[in-house]
Structure 1
Amino acid sequence: MRDRDTERAPLSEEELDGILRLPKVELHLHIEGAAPPAFIRGLAKEKSVNLSGVFRADGSYDFRDFARFLEVYEAATTVLRGPEDYARLTTAVLEQCAENGVIYAETFLSPDFCGGGDLGAWREYLQAIREAADAAEARMGVTLRGIVTCVRHFGPDKAKAAARCAAETADDWLVGFGMGGDETRGQQGDFAYSFDMAREAGLRLTTHAGEWRGPKEVRAALDDLRVERIGHGVRAIEDLGLVDRLAEDGIVLEVCPGSNVSLGVYPKLSDHPIRALRDRGVTVTVSTDDPPFFHTTMRDEYRNLARTFDWREEDFVQIAQDAARAAFCDDATRARLLKLLERP
């Protein structure tokens, strides 16, 4: 990281353009939440599904807070009714990634949405998603890997079914296990059995924490689930001892600034703690979470961070390289990514 006390010229448009063209790595992306609204509306029309209340007049997703966001998210997924729909979704999402210079992404996949937690159905969904991802990689050069997620507000029993699906299909493509959903429901430790099952299957671990609940939630994720990455994690900044622990233990935060501002975790980007966390030695990465919901892209995230925090090309190169090192992919894929992220 650079010394911000060193005076230098303001960020130029040419420098900003160079930043936006950098290759990017995204570690926190929900596949259903990345569905373009037009794609969901198209499926709804094909299947004669009434999605009234899901979209605003301008065609964007309609929500006002996190609770409503979850309702709209789950309503939109009702048009995704089989493996072929998820294959089409995967292609649409990776097209958006390619347009934004993303060379590698990890996406959250839930067996609850892909087959209702049934292992046989999950295998069919997973095969369709992977085939679409492989075709997209050959055509667009974007590498995708999957992380199975249980849904917190569906409860620990459904999480166990998701973990079984994950454990039975773990391989070099299905590389991780995590938890999303409503952070205000239950406790991290309620899901320890599922995380232990995934760990024993060789899967890497992450969980959403420290978005809606404070530092204690991040500590619980570390102590009770023993994860190596945290989705969001930004409210750790309220406990500097915890921040130092994250830095010392090499815990990586999957930070989604646009999401945090859109949902009201912070009122504006300049209030966001991503720079403070990074300056204190925490490894932060940048992702979009559910990009069309939050009217963002990876290019938008880079643009807004550059302008707000005066970050330059070297900052974003480091962030992307840190993300590649934190990715749950195999070593050969990681080496290839780091080669692509090298700067002249």
Structure 2
Amino acid sequence: MKSIPKTELHLHLEGAAPPAFIAGLAKEKHADISGVFDERGHYAYDDFPHFLQVYEAATSVLKTPEDYARLVTAVTAELAEQGVVYAETFLSPDFCGGGDVSAWRDYVAAMQEAALAVEAQGGPILRGVVTCIRHFGPEKAKRAALCAAETMGDFVTGYGIAGNEMMGRPKDFAWSFDLAREAGLGLTAHAGEWGGPVSVKEAVEDLRVSRIGHGVRAIEDLALVDRLAEDGIVLEVCPGSNIALGLYPKWDRHPVCQLWERGVKVTVSTDDPPFFHTTLSGEYEQLNRAFGWDEEVFAGLNRVAAEAAFCDAATRERVLERLGAAAGQAA
């Protein structure tokens, strides 16, 4: 599956950090992050709330723009290994400069420089989607949206919300989404993972997003599924993440195939791959085993992702060309 050219729309930058990278950075900084890793050096957590705690503890060693530049280089190397030609990664000003616009600019500049260096060498094209953190509350979300609007450009192209879906309601964050929309940013929201189908409905109606992160619980309301299909709302589905966190017991019980068969625009991503012991190629392999999806299906999913990407028309054309050229070479 590595030979299939891929696009990925749902990837948290810190969550994609290889454990060895975080452990090495902690050692350099003499930082104590006890409890983050198990005896094999993997990220260790018990449930979703604990996952968030471990995630933030691991992130705590990323202190400077240079740290984030190094992280971009490490993550894009992993993406290249999986055959990814284009990816969007979630970035939070709360982790990069504490929500201060001036500090955030320095982080964005460092990450963009690293991403462009990778792209210039023929590596994956990377774009950033700024996210507010839901459990940090609406006021911090306003600062995140301002950071996104102030740095929108070739690298920062979208805005979204991540974090604990059970905290607050989508409408609480409408102000920040309105600001991001007025700035011209693409909009997405994590919903329909833990909050059920109503959270998807509220995100679409109250935040007016074009994409939903996860969204799989929509399957519990078939009228909503049909509405998503009719309105062309794109779901950033992360099956391995859902299974690792216990949302579904196994791959053949995951609703991604049902959603696809009902005409919903689905894409496949990894969310926080090292946390969930997955890769994008691994996701494809599991979907092939569970549902018989072949290269033609995956090519279609990747075209959907490319069309839904928060990038300019010229970049989209380049991505589609790379998808087509790579597919032709693989064939």
Per the shorter chain, which TM-score range? Answer: over 0.9
Q: Given that residues 2 and 81 in structure 2 are in contact (C-alpha distance below 8 angstroms), is that contact kept between their aligned partners in structure 1? A: no
- The whole-number CA distance in structure 2 between the counterparts of 1:139 and 1:316 is 26
Which residues of structure 1 form unaligned runs of 5+? 1-18
CA distance in 2, matches of 1:75, 1:304: 30
Distance in 1 (alpha carbons) for counterparts of 2:229 and 2:10: 20
Superposed, which structure 2 residues align to 1:291-330 within 5 Å?
291-330=273-312
Deviation at 1:31, TM superposition (A): 0.2
Deviations 1:8-59 (A, max 9, x none): xxxxxxxxxxx43110000000000000000000010001111111100000
Counterpart selection for 1:286 from 229, 249, 268: 268
**Pairing partner for 1:102 from 73, 84, 100:** 84
For structure 2, the 5+ residue unaligned runs are: none
Tell me by how many angstroms 1:338 deviates: 1.3
Question: Which residue in 1 is equivalent to 2:6?
Answer: 24
Which residue is equivalent to 2:74?
92
**Structure 2 residue matching 1:216: 3-state secondary structure:** helix
Q: Counterparts in 2 of 1:97-176, with a 5 A limit?
A: 97-176=79-158
Q: State the Cα RMSD in Å.
A: 0.8
Q: Could you tell me which residue of structure 2 aligns to residue 272 of structure 1?
A: 254
Distance 2:27 2:123 in 1: 31
> Aligned-pair distance for 1:219?
0.4
Q: Contact between 1:98 and 1:140, CA under 8 Å: does it hold in 2?
A: no
Map 1:25-64 → 2, pairs under 5 A: 25-64=7-46
- Secondary structure of the corresponding residue to residue 150 of structure 1: strand
State the identity %: 65
Offset from partner CA, 1:47-105 (integer Å, 9 cap, x none): 11111111000000001110010000000011000000000000000000000000000
2:211 counterpart of 1:229: yes
Q: Distance in 2 between matches of 1:209 and 1:111?
A: 20
1:187 maps to 169
Distance 2:227 2:33 in 1: 45
Cα offset, 1:334, TM superposition = 0.8
Contact 2:36-2:57 at 8 Å conserved across structures: yes
Matched residue, 1:9: none
Q: Distance in 2 between matches of 1:68 and 1:287?
A: 22
**Within 2, Cα distance between the matches of 1:314 and 1:56?**
39
1:238 offset after TM fit, Å? 0.2
Indicate the SS of the match to 1:243: helix
CA distance in 2, matches of 1:140, 1:271: 38
Matched with 1:334 is 316
Structure 2-normalised TM-score? 0.97
What are the within-5 Å matches in structure 2 for residues 58-77 of structure 1? Answer: 58-77=40-59
Q: 2:60 is paired with a residue of what secondary structure?
A: helix
Per-residue CA shift, 1:169-194, capped at 9, x if unaligned? 11122100000000010101100000
CA deviation vs aligned residue, 1:199-220 (integer Å, no higher than 9, x gap): 0000010000000011110000
Runs of 4+ in 1 over 6 A off after TM superposition: none
Give the deviation of 1:139 after TM superposition. 2.0
SS at match of 1:111: coil
